[in-house]
Amino acid sequence: MSSMRPRRAILFSALTPILLHSYIGFRLVPDLPGPLWLKIAFAIWLAISALLVPLGMRARRYEPPWADRISWIGMLTMGLFSSLLVLTFLRDIFLLVTLLAGWHTPTLLANSAVVPPVLALVVSLIGFFNARGVAKVVEVDVPVAGLPQALHGFTIAQISDIHVGPTIKGPYIDRIVDRVNSLKADAVAITGDLVDGSVRDLSPHTAPLGRLASRHGTFVVTGNHEYYAGAEAWIEELRRMGLRVLLNEHVVVERDGASLVLGGVTDFTAGQFIASHRSDPVQALAGAPASAAVRVLLAHQPRSAPAAAAAGFDLQLSGHTHGGQFWPWNLFVPMQQPYVHGLKRHERMWIYVSRGTGYWGPPKRFGAPSEITKVRLVSA
C-alpha cells in the first residue's frame, strides 16, 4: 500500500497540468475568432505548455547548465499558464451570467475568447519586468512608546525571500546589495527564504551578500526554503561569509547608553526538519537585559506573531508571503498567514511583513511589487 501512494502522487502531478490545459483548450479554442491556423497554433501551444510546466518544476534533476535553462522555460510558461487559467475561469463565470441574463450571442463568445490569452500575455510581460528589476526601497516608520532619544531614528534594512536559484543569480544579488548599502542602515536583516538550492550550486551566487554593510552588521534567520535546500550547510556557509545567523537567540545593540535587543527565530516549521531547530521566541529572548528599550524579532513567517508578542517583543519583521506575488494568489495568502503585507498591530506588538525582495517560481510580480524595506524606529 505504501508504494501505491507515491505512484498515485506522481500520476496526479502528471495528469493535473494536462487536465487544466485541456480545460483551457476546450473552453477557448472553439470560440476563438480568426483563421483555423490560429486555433491550431494556440492548441499546439497549450499542449507544449502542459509538458513544460511540470518539466520546469523538475528541472533540478538535470545537470547544469540544462537545469537552469529548463527551469527558465518552464517557469516562464507556468507564469503565463497561471494567469490564463484564472482568466479562462473568470470568462466562464461571465458567460454564465450573460446566459442567465439572456445576453448570450456568438459575437460575445468570440470576442470574450480573445480576452484571456491576450490579457494573460500582457500581465505576464508586465510581471516579468517587475520581477527582474531591482526592488524599490519602501520606508516604514515604527512608533515605539518610551523609545530613548539615542535609538530614535535607528534603521534596519530588511531584505527577504530572494530565492537565489535557477533564475536568480549573482548579478541580481549584486544589484540588491548595492541598493541596500546605499541606505547606510544601522543593521541589515535577512528574514529567510534566501536560497532555493544547495551550497555547492549556489555559493558563488550568494557571495555578494558578504558585501552587505551596516553599522552593526547583517543578521539572518532561516525560512522554510532553507530547510528544503539543506539548512545546516547554508547556516555554515552564511557564517563563513561573515553574516550572523540567529537560531532562537539574540544580540544586544548598544547606542549611546541605550540598548536594543535584536532576536531571531528559526522558521515556524523548522522543527519538522530538524528537531533542535524548533522555532522558539521565548528562547530567543532568554537572558536579554530587562532594561532594553526595544525588542525586535526577525521571524520568517508572520504566523510567529502570537508567540512573539507573548514572549515580549515590540516589533516583528517577517516575509514569506511575497504579498501574494501576483494576482489572484494574494487572495489566498490570508488562508495560511494572519498578515500579508505592511505594518500591522498584533496586540501590543507591531509586525511588518515584507512583500519580498526577489520572487519564487515564475519570474512574475503583478500587483505585489518587490521591496527592500528601510524600517526606522521612532518615538511614539
- Summarised one tens digit per residue, pLDDT across range 302-331 is 999 999 999 999 999 999 999 999 887 778
pLDDT value, residue 102: 86
CA 352 to chain centre: 15
- Report DSSP state, residue 271: G
- Report DSSP state, residue 295: E
Domain boundaries, the chain: 4-132, 136-379
Per-residue model confidence as pLDDT tens digits over 255-306: 988 999 999 999 999 999 999 999 999 999 999 999 999 999 999 999 999 9
pLDDT value, residue 2: 44
Question: What CATH number has the domain spanning 136-379?
Answer: 3.60.21.10
pLDDT value, residue 11: 56
pLDDT value, residue 1: 43
3-state SS string over 180-245?
Answer: HHHCCCCEEEEECCCECCCHHHHHHHHHHHHHCCCCCCEEEECCHHHHHHCHHHHHHHHHHCCCEE
pTM: 0.91
Identify the band that residue 7 occupies on the pLDDT scale cut at 50, 70 and 90: low
Identify the band that residue 9 occupies on the pLDDT scale cut at 50, 70 and 90: low
Over the range 78-107, which residues count as b (16 or more CB within 10 Å of their CB) and which as e? bbbbbbbbbbbbebeeebeeeeeeeeeeee
Per-residue model confidence as pLDDT tens digits over 350-370: 999 999 999 999 999 999 999
pLDDT value, residue 337: 92
